[in-house]
Amino acid sequence: MTPIAKTISEVRTAVAAARQAGQTIAFVPTMGALHNGHAALIQAARRSAPYVVVSIFVNPTQFGPHEDFARYPRTLEQDHQLCTEARASLIFVPTVDEMYPENFVTFVEVKELDQLLCGASRPRHFRGVCTVVLKLLNIVQPDVAHFGAKDFQQARIIQQMVRDLNVPVQIRIEPTVREPDGLAMSSRNQYLTPAERAVAPRIYQALQSVLQRARSGEIDVARLESVLQGELSAIPGARVDYARIVDAERLQPLSRLDRPAVAAVAVVLGQTRLIDNVVIA
């Protein structure tokens, strides 16, 4: 089984030994409740470097006061098995106190990119994400770190943070892994009732519909967003948080498809908030 480290000093000792042995380091940060999408990230990391560190930490600073921090699934035994099967070299499982010691007062923000999409409805979410990711990068000091494309805004923000703060790591964004019916794999999918799970694939179907319209020549973003909003709103029991088409680089609104863009959505089914996106090149 893959060894588990619970303290920062243990991780640094293990990584230092790997570097002493001439190995490069890849890193996959997670919040646990791992699934095949995470396995794909770990496998991609294995192709990047011989020594792969996976962190499992449900980060309290990225949850709002009425969000699901307390009930977020914690499945360490199963996660350990998945990491072992995916050939991770080390699993870092810190406590909240290890990551946020007493009198912790320093946070990291990436302005502008955090204002739209998830940032509009989840204030301070990306402040928590950036803070914990920068801490983890400083702890592990990897050569390369792997993130999933499902969290497009998060990945873009982390790329910007790493560039702006001169963090010596390469960020690689891996394709979204989907269920056979198209639903993007997510740890939160297990919250869905059978009825909600049955209609959830329509989120990706709506995105695909808009993508096909764009590929067929539609460039008016307002019309495309109207179609996207309409198809999502037609999903039984769905509440659309946002359905936007934005500049893929700056995450700002567009009027026309005259540059690379991303169609990004957040949809609430019952008590479960699901996000997804497609890139419109």
Mean pLDDT over 126-144 rounds to: 98
Compute the distance between CA of residue 187 and CA of residue 31 in angstroms, rounded to an integer. Answer: 9
- Counting the structural domains of the chain, the total is 2
pLDDT single digits (tens) 251-262:
999 999 999 999
Rounded to 5 degrees, φ, ψ at 175 are -60, 150
Q: How far is CA 2 from CA 18, 39, 44, 88, in A?
A: 15, 14, 17, 6
* 59-72 pLDDT tens trace: 999 999 989 999 99
pLDDT of amino acid 275:
98
Cβ distance 138 to 162 under 8 Å? no
Look at residue 257 and tell me if it is in a domain. Answer: yes
Q: What is the CATH number of the domain that holds 195?
A: 3.30.1300.10
Q: Which whole number is the average pLDDT over 106-127?
A: 96
**pTM metric for this prediction:** 0.97
The confidence score (pLDDT) of residue 210 equals: 98
User: Cα-atom radius of gyration of the chain, to the nearest Å?
Assistant: 19
The reported pLDDT for the residue numbered 22 is 98
pLDDT band at 101 (very low <50, low <70, confident <90, very high): very high
Q: Kindly state whether residues 195 and 135 are assigned to the same domain.
A: no
* Residue 181 within a domain: no
User: Does residue 209 lie within any of the structural domains?
Assistant: yes
What would the two tokens of residue 111 be?
């302005």
Q: State whether 196 and 135 are in the same domain.
A: no
Residue 100 inside a domain? The answer is yes
Percent of the chain with pLDDT over 90: 99
Say yes or no: 148 and 19 in one domain. Answer: yes
Tell me which residue of 276, 269, 267 sits closest to 193, measured CA to CA: 269
Average of per-residue pLDDT values in the chain = 98
Residues 44 and 86 in one domain: yes
47 in the same domain as 153: yes
Domain interval for residue 214: 187-280
pLDDT value, residue 124: 94
pLDDT digits (tens, 9 = 90+) for 15-53: 999 999 999 999 999 999 999 999 999 999 999 999 999
Both 146 and 252 in one domain: the answer is: no
The residues annotated as belonging to the active site are 38
Tell me, yes or no, whether 200 lies in a domain.
yes
Clarify whether residues 133 and 105 are in a common domain.
yes
pLDDT interval class at 126 (50, 70, 90): very high
The amino acid sitting at 272 is T
Across 245-251, average pLDDT:
97
pLDDT surpassing 90 at residue 281:
no
Mean pLDDT value of segment 190-207: 98
The answer on 82 and 153 residing in a single domain is: yes
- What would the mean pLDDT of 230-244 be, rounded to a whole number? 98
CATH number at residue 167: 3.40.50.620
pLDDT > 70 fraction of the chain, expressed in percent and rounded: 100
> Do 142 and 44 sit in the same domain of this protein?
yes
Q: Are residues 149 and 235 in the same domain?
A: no
Residue 122 — very low, low, confident or very high, per pLDDT cuts 50/70/90?
A: very high
Q: State whether 207 and 165 are in the same domain.
A: no
Tell whether 236 and 168 lie within a shared domain: no
